[in-house]
Structure 1
Amino acid sequence: MSGSRGIGARWRRRRPLRARLALAASAAVALVAVGVCAAAFLIIRVQMTRQLDLSLSQTAGQVSKERRDWGPTASDDSCRYRAVPCVQIVPSDPARDPRGRYALPVGEATRQVAGGHRAAYYSKLTVGGKPVRMFTTRLPGKQEALQVALRSDTVERGVGQAAWALSVVGAAGVLLAAGLGYWVSRTGLAPVARLTATAERIAATRDARHRIELPAGPAGREDEVTRLAASFNVMLGELEQSVAAQRRLVADASHELRTPLTALRTNAELLARSARLTEAQRERAAAALGRQLREVTTLVNDLIELARDEEPQPLVEQVRPAALLEHAVGAAREHWPQIAFELHTDPAAADVTVPGVPARLARLLSNLLDNAAKFSPPGGPVTAALASVPGGVELTVRDHGPGIAAADLPHVFDRFYRADAARALPGSGLGLAMARQIARAHGADLTAQAAPGGGALFRMRMPLP
């Protein structure tokens, strides 16, 4: 048994889905066709036998009226003719039997019917080498049984012809079922075949730009396979965007790392010849080397943070945005002493808590405040505010710098994007991209816009749980 199951499992693995579906559909239709033919054969045989029995019963009724007073008689034709019935009357007492030999068989059951001890019955027998159907019943008011027989070879021949015809029809139905099963599997699995071919082509070429051709028609009439193909196309689009973003990130990171690494190598080579340098030159080279190492370290850490798509769930806890903002503003005042930071907290939002990772939210606020301070003129104010809004809290950070140009506004949160006005400023161009990623991981919406009266305004809305 285990060997047969193993063979069946190997067969299912080796056979393609189209062949298995065609075989299953063909087997189902063939089973129905054979079942219908078998049922039709049984119905035909029963009906033809019933018609013969009805004819025997009617003949017995007529004979009982015509030969009521004849007494026991023996049949004299031995059912030699197909349409002529054999008729004989048998008494319950064998002593009253006629002198002639009975053509139809007489047994104990016949005597019991004649004596009224048994009900009328039909029987199938052979007389003179011919198949016969016989009806035995009791004559009313007499101790005699009436036997009426008709040849049944006509019925049997009709049943045989019906069986042959139904066998032909069943075989044709099986062949038709096989053809229909193949057509159904070929038509129904065409989108799956295209999906498989596309997936194999992508695996071979590593090119996610391929798509599955979808049938034209109303969207409401799409079947499950078409929806699967459409979902696969959407997945391919997302994969293509992800691959493009990954390649762009690698290219941008390589470009951003090239300059500080070149400077690091230059200063390292310069310090390697420190014997030829003055003390002041060695100090400047060492300071530049330390500064460049910090820039590279910061850039690498930012890249690692951006490579993480979601926040680690074990670190999520209830945090107060007001406390985080206050701490971030305090840290920014120490880091940017030449900038005047202003903090405004709505009393209704002071005690509001939201689920999040405190360190990540603090990094988000620090990036927004550093970006605002970087673009603000010395002594210029940077305003951070937290207010309660329907369904959540809203945090805003505004500076009074040059603002954001309309052409730069759609790209503010792109990785490594730096506007013309920011190219001379320090930074890697990853701060705002990281801020938006952290906001999205916490279910918040971070946007940027030009502030009324000049400057830039960043707005983040955090929903309440």
Structure 2
Amino acid sequence: MSGRRLGAPWRRRRPLRTRLALAVTAAVALVAVGVCAAAFFVVRGALYEQLDLSLTQSARLAAQRNPDSGPATLAGECRFLAAPACAEVVPADPAHDPAAPYLLPVSPAARAVAAGTRAPYYTDIVHAGHPARMLTTDYTKGRALQVALRADTVEKGIAEAAWWLALAGAAGVLLAALLGHWVARTGLAPVTRIAATAERITATRDPRHRIELPPPGREDEITRLAGSFNTMLEELEQSVTAQRRLVADASHELRTPLTALRTNAELLARGERLTAEQRSRASLALGRQLREATGLVNDLIELARDEEPQLLVEQVRLAPLVEHCVGAARAHWPGVSFRVRAEEGVVVAGVPARLSRLLSNLLDNAAKFSPVGAEVEVDLAVRPGGGPEVTVRDHGPGIAAGDLPFVFDRFYRAGAARALPGSGLGLAMARQIARAHAAELVAEAAPGGGALFRLAFAAPG
């Protein structure tokens, strides 16, 4: 039994850089070896083609010089190129062979050429201890002509070509290895930076790290990946910052109501020392503070999701919804007058309960800042060439120019609002609901004083 644990991988997967380097090296090396091999066969074929051409010319010269020669040897020992070749005449019938032995080997194939039943051919032989190449061709009727030339120079040339091409192939493989390493290192450098950045973020839990990008004009797929990674890090940083700010703000906002709850609870625990009126006031205060704390916690839970729940969307008629929300606001703020102008027949796609929450938050905010007896104006109309729009205007102190960019931030409360009840989450929740309904909610200073909130829905498609 092997000492390897069952289920454990028997071989680790190589790193991506190593695999890429090996792939590039193998591809380039394969091309280099293929080119060298092809060059070897081309050189070998060219040398043999030259040798065969010399054999053909030698055979033609031998036939011209000895047109009527019988079966016999026409020339002696084979020579190199550009020298007389050894030649002999072979009859088709072995009975007509001369008494002297043939200089070149005679085979049945040569008899077949002499008889005219086979085409001329080339063959490699060894003659007198030297490599040679022989041509067997037709000579006269019933006879064949064999011509041979030594192939020492050809074999030597082929061997030298093989040596140099093998050396070139080895150099090509080495160059391929260096090139593969360089390509892997250069091509995966951005990926390495991405991995290093991710590891730093994992180790430090700090999403402020970014990947350094090349200058403009040198973008590629890896650069786009790094840019997307940086964008993701920015979103992550914003999300982490928002969560930390939400926790810090929530702990700060919850500290006061929890302290008041604990105080009233401790006071009621000593009920025997209190009068009936004091116990009643403490009980009422405790209930009110519990409701405020519960509402604050519920608002925090909804805002912490950072998105609207996927509820059933339906076609909502805005005029009845506005009237309903204004009626509830009148009951909650009896000292404030509400005036409504609502255009009938306006319909949007949305969730009625969430839109009601949005409008209620806007109306509560306007009523909270309105002096006693002042009027809150609510208008519903369709913008020319656009979609429905709901405006809520109060005649209170208005919003300072320095506060306008922050009125929708969580827990943000302007200086004039710090003494008023509320947690600072209503407008933040209103904008979140508006965005979930593809609507835009903005705040601006109203002409003549006061604040104006404008809820603009997208035009129907």
With normalisation by structure 2, the TM-score equals 0.93
Please name the residue that 2:183 is paired with.
Answer: 184
* Correspondences of 1:56-455 after superposition (within 5 Å): 56-74=55-73, 77-79=76-78, 83-139=83-139, 142-218=141-217, 221-347=218-344, 350-354=345-349, 356-389=350-383, 390-455=385-450
Distance 1:391 1:11, change over 3 A: farther
Question: 1:161-207: per-residue Cα shift (whole Å, max 9, x none)?
Answer: 21121111111111111111111111111111111111111101111
SS of corresponding position for 1:394: strand
Question: 1:145-172: per-residue Cα shift (whole Å, max 9, x none)?
Answer: 1111111232122112211211111111
Distance 1:9 1:217, change over 3 A: farther
Is residue 354–residue 433 contact of structure 2 (8 Å, CA) maintained in 1? Answer: yes
How far does residue 95 in structure 1 lie from its aligned partner after superposition? 3.1
Question: 1:297-353: per-residue Cα shift (whole Å, max 9, x none)?
Answer: 110010011012223334333323333222211211221122221222234xx2423
Task: State the alpha-carbon separation in 2 of the partners of residues 314 and 171 from structure 1.
Answer: 69
Is residue 411–residue 423 contact of structure 2 (8 Å, CA) maintained in 1? Answer: yes
Please name the residue that 1:3 is paired with.
Answer: none
Count matched residues: 453
Unaligned runs of 5+ in 2: 1-5
Distance 1:361 1:413, change over 3 A: same
How far does residue 62 in structure 1 lie from its aligned partner after superposition? 1.9
AA aligned opposite 2:270: R
Please name the residue that 2:46 is paired with.
Answer: 47
Is residue 409–residue 449 contact of structure 1 (8 Å, CA) maintained in 2? Answer: yes
Task: State the alpha-carbon separation in 1 of the partners of residues 262 and 163 from structure 2.
Answer: 95
Question: 1:106-134: per-residue Cα shift (whole Å, max 9, x none)?
Answer: 12221221222221111122222222211
Task: State the alpha-carbon separation in 2 of the partners of residues 244 and 67 from structure 1.
Answer: 106
Distance 1:7 1:272, change over 3 A: closer
Is residue 311–residue 357 contact of structure 1 (8 Å, CA) maintained in 2? Answer: no
Please name the residue that 2:3 is paired with.
Answer: none
Task: Report the RMSD for the aligned CA atoms in angstroms.
Answer: 2.0
Is residue 136–residue 147 contact of structure 2 (8 Å, CA) maintained in 1? Answer: yes
Task: State the alpha-carbon separation in 2 of the partners of residues 23 and 43 from structure 1.
Answer: 30
AA aligned opposite 2:367: A
Distance 1:203 1:76, change over 3 A: same
SS of corresponding position for 1:313: coil
AA aligned opposite 1:91: P
AA aligned opposite 1:426: P
Task: State the alpha-carbon separation in 1 of the partners of residues 105 and 264 from structure 2.
Answer: 127
SS of corresponding position for 1:353: strand
Greater Cα shift, 57-66 or 189-198: 57-66
Task: State the alpha-carbon separation in 2 of the partners of residues 64 and 233 from structure 1.
Answer: 86
How far does residue 76 in structure 1 lie from its aligned partner after superposition? 5.3
Is residue 76–residue 103 contact of structure 1 (8 Å, CA) maintained in 2? Answer: no
Task: State the alpha-carbon separation in 2 of the partners of residues 440 and 11 from structure 1.
Answer: 52
Is residue 315–residue 347 contact of structure 2 (8 Å, CA) maintained in 1? Answer: no
Task: State the alpha-carbon separation in 2 of the partners of residues 417 and 161 from structure 1.
Answer: 87
Task: State the alpha-carbon separation in 2 of the partners of residues 336 and 84 from structure 1.
Answer: 128
AA aligned opposite 2:424: G
Unaligned runs of 5+ in 1: 1-5
Distance 1:368 1:338, change over 3 A: same
Is residue 58–residue 84 contact of structure 2 (8 Å, CA) maintained in 1? Answer: no
Please name the residue that 2:455 is paired with.
Answer: 460
Is residue 195–residue 212 contact of structure 1 (8 Å, CA) maintained in 2? Answer: yes
* Correspondences of 1:10-29 after superposition (within 5 Å): 11=11, 13=13, 15-29=14-28
Task: State the alpha-carbon separation in 2 of the partners of residues 297 and 67 from structure 1.
Answer: 125
Task: State the alpha-carbon separation in 2 of the partners of residues 69 and 127 from structure 1.
Answer: 26
Is residue 75–residue 102 contact of structure 1 (8 Å, CA) maintained in 2? Answer: no
Is residue 74–residue 101 contact of structure 1 (8 Å, CA) maintained in 2? Answer: no
Task: State the alpha-carbon separation in 1 of the partners of residues 266 and 74 from structure 2.
Answer: 134
SS of corresponding position for 2:435: helix
AA aligned opposite 2:223: T
How far does residue 405 in structure 1 lie from its aligned partner after superposition? 0.6
SS of corresponding position for 1:175: helix
Task: State the alpha-carbon separation in 2 of the partners of residues 69 and 12 from structure 1.
Answer: 80
AA aligned opposite 1:268: A
SS of corresponding position for 1:211: coil
How far does residue 32 in structure 1 lie from its aligned partner after superposition? 1.2
How far does residue 85 in structure 1 lie from its aligned partner after superposition? 1.5
Task: State the alpha-carbon separation in 2 of the partners of residues 271 and 26 from structure 1.
Answer: 83
Is residue 268–residue 279 contact of structure 2 (8 Å, CA) maintained in 1? Answer: yes
Task: State the alpha-carbon separation in 2 of the partners of residues 239 and 53 from structure 1.
Answer: 77
Is residue 345–residue 387 contact of structure 1 (8 Å, CA) maintained in 2? Answer: yes
